[in-house]
A = this chain, B = another copy of it.
Amino acid sequence: MLYLVGLGLGDETDITLKGLEVVKKSARVYLEAYTSILLVDKSILESYYGREVILADREMVESSSDEILEGADAVDVAFLVVGDPFGATTHTDLVIRAREKGIPVRTVPNASILSAIGAAGLQLYHFGQTVSMVFFTDNWRPASFYDRIRENRSIGLHTLVLLDIKVKEQSMENLARGRKIYEPPRYMTVGQCAQQMLEIEEEKKEGVYGPESLAVGAARVGGETEKFVAGTLKELCDADEILGGPLHSLILLGTGTHELEHEYVREFALDKENWDRIWAENYQTKK
């Protein structure tokens, strides 16, 4: 049996009792280590589980999945995923490959950023499609998120923006020379995300959002040091210090915001007066 086990969002104690039992009984335990991270190191997991944990990077999962699935028709294999196993496309793909080999699959769900973000006080019913923001480079500035946000906003909905992480990246030089030397991991901050969003609006000028648009920055959602900061996109460009370390996410408010949501989220506002003014002008419930 192949088990996809969600680890939740915070630390080693966020695994479920059911998930822990699977880990303990499995012949091999993999940890998917490139779409998200826990706030603790692999060694902490290993000593908590009392098991060796094999790191599975993108290459292993996408190109060498046979290795992971090896013998899973006869023994149990646990594939651990931060958050919920179905948060990322790549895991659906692994299940399809297991199916093709006649390997039975079972999932142990857990908290995902897609639902835990409700802790910010915005109703999960009022979210549209989730978008991703990648690190821009000089010649790669993918902006498909802009149209997705427009679609959500056209029907009054909030947008959750998931922020890029780069782990096990090689520099162009090391890549060219075939040297397996990796850059330090990078995690996009709310400030970097807000900045990139404003740059794209600046280019497109279609008014999907702007410096005065309300948003919530979130850090370490679901962890003990979870932190939310609410403000305009412009204000959030400079709020990284208040938010602290990774992982960060951002919510862009929809215009159909309910009074209860407002009451909850304004607690996190950097500048409550400014927040209240903009909210009253542009965000009161329209649906």
Q: Are A118 and B21 in contact (CB under 8 A)?
A: no
Q: Could you name 8 residue pairs across A and B whose Cβ atoms are closer than 8 Å?
A: A13-B21, A14-B16, A84-B116, A89-B125, A107-B226, A111-B111, A111-B112, A115-B115
Is the Cβ of A109 less than 8 Å from the Cβ of B114?
no
Contact check, B14 vs A17: say whether CB atoms are below 8 A apart: yes
Residues on the B chain within 8 Å of A84, using CB: 111, 115-116, 118
A127 is an interface residue with CB less than 8 A from chain B? yes
Residues 87-142 of A contacting B (Cβ, < 8 Å): 87, 89, 92-93, 95-96, 99, 106-107, 109-112, 114-116, 118-119, 121, 123-132
**A182 in contact (CB, < 8 A):** no
Interface: A181 (CB within 8 A):
no
Q: A16-B8, A96-B263, A109-B8 are in contact. Are A128 and B114 (CB under 8 A)?
A: no
Per the CB 8 Å criterion, the residue count for chain A at the interface is: 60
- Closest residue on chain B to residue A99 by CB atoms: B267
With A84-B115, A84-B118, A115-B109 as known contacts, state yes or no: A123 contacts B16, CB within 8 Å: no
In the complex, are the beta carbons of A86 and B18 less than 8 A apart?
no
**How many copies make up the complex?**
2
**In the bound complex, CA of A206 to CA of B128 (Å):** 22
CB-contacts of A253-268 with B (<8 A): 260-261, 263-264, 267
Task: Give 1 or 0 for each of A1-42: 1 = CB within 8 Å of chain B CB.
Answer: 000001011111111111011000000000000000000000
Residues of B within 8 A of A155 (CB): 128-129, 151, 154-155
Question: Bound state CA distance, A61 and B130, in angstroms?
Answer: 31
A217 close to chain B: CB less than 8 A: no
Complex CA gap A91/B106 in Å reads 31
In the docked arrangement, what's the CA distance between A111 and B7, Å?
10
Residue of B with least CB distance to A116: B109
Residues of B within 8 A of A109 (CB): 8-9, 14, 111, 115-116, 119, 221-222
Q: How far is the CA of A125 from the CA of B89 in the complex (A)?
A: 9
The 7 closest A-B pairs by CB, nearest first: A86-B118, A109-B111, A112-B115, A13-B18, A151-B155, A109-B116, A13-B17
Smallest CB separation, A161 vs chain B (Å): 12
A8 to B108, CA, bound (A): 10
The residue on B at minimum CB distance from A265 is B92
| A82 on the B face (CB < 8 A) | no
A193 at the B interface (CB under 8 A): no
Within 8 Å of chain B (Cβ to Cβ): is A69? no
Docked Cα-Cα span, A9 to B267, in Å, equals 30
Interface string of A193-228 (1 = CB under 8 A from B): 000000000000000000000000000011010100
* A15 and B16 contacting across the interface, CB-CB below 8 Å: yes
Q: Is A157 an interface residue (CB 8 A)?
A: yes
Contacts of A107 in B (CB 8 A): 119, 222, 226
